Amino acid sequence: HQDRSSDGICPMNPSIMLDAVDIVKELGQGAGKVRALKGVSLELKAGELTLLMGPSGSGKTTLLSILGCILAPSAGSVTIAGERADGLDAEALAALRRRHIGFVFQSYNLFPTLNASENVRLALDVRGIKAAETIARAEAALREVGLGHRLKSYPRNMSGGEQQRVAVARALAGRPSVLLADEPTAALDSENGHAVMQLLSQIAKDQSRAVLAVTHDPRTHAYADRILKIEDGLIIGDERRAETRENITKIDVKKKKRKANG
């Protein structure tokens, strides 16, 4: 990892967007101290959608917060797009987060008084991007998630699925190296859940981006390139699903044929 190219990507393996080694995290204090993560290592590759599954309390949110530079680990190292995240002070960590991370939450976290475009622009404003560019980038991101016709709509006038797509657009607009999602389909009905997963898998196909989504929802499996299982603060499973994308394509083709045949 010593030799970096000027864009910060490790020249040894530029497809590794995130590299976490031996992450330990202790939460709480005194008698209430909990070892939420007990030595987690993982790499995320550009072009892949990885799912993180595990029971409640297994450490999923804690891990996502550390990978997303919201929390600092108690021990271990995190490298994002070639930049070390551990050992940074809060300000430097936040700057790294703004440069490289996009977050999507179960509860969307949109501002009710801002329309879709303004919600996305707000995330760009805090990055110091000029107003004219924030307008163009917000519009492009909303088109990318299929909401080009909803630029001026307010959250209260959108379905849960549409609101979550605005949240995905907001994360995308920052051009993240790593997109992290914490149970992004948990509040959605089946159809909207599938639409959001489809969108995340499409976003992951971008060869400069890795996507990691925490999920309990077995319907999301079909969209995954890889499924990680976590239990009691440790990764206990890592399964690659090489044919998944092909299968989805085959299903789509069958559906289209069926439609074409009436």
Residues making contact with ligand ADP (CB under 6 A): 27-28, 34, 36, 54, 56-62
Q: Between 2 and 56, whose beta carbon lies closer to Mg ion?
A: 56
Sole window of 58-66, 92-100, 105-113, 244-252 interacting with Mg ion (rule: CB under 5 A): 58-66
Among ligand ADP, Mg ion, none, what does residue 54 contact (CB within 5–8 Å per kind)? ligand ADP
58 contacts Mg ion (rule: CB under 5 A)? no
**Alpha helices, H only, the chain:** 60-67, 90-100, 116-125, 131-144, 160-173, 190-204, 244-260
Q: Which one of residues 50, 58, 61, 119 is an interface residue with Mg ion (CB under 5 A)?
A: 61
3-state secondary structure of 202: helix
Query: How many alpha carbons fall within 13 Å on the CB side of residue 100?
Result: 27
| Shortest distance, position 58 Cβ to Mg ion, whole Å | 9
| Shortest distance, position 233 Cβ to ligand ADP, whole Å | 7
3-state secondary structure of 35: strand
Q: Between 60 and 226, whose beta carbon lies closer to Mg ion?
A: 60
- The alpha carbon dihedral of 73, 79, 85, 86 has a sign of positive
Sole residue written with tokens 């009905």? 189
The residues binding Mg ion (CB under 5 A) are 60-61
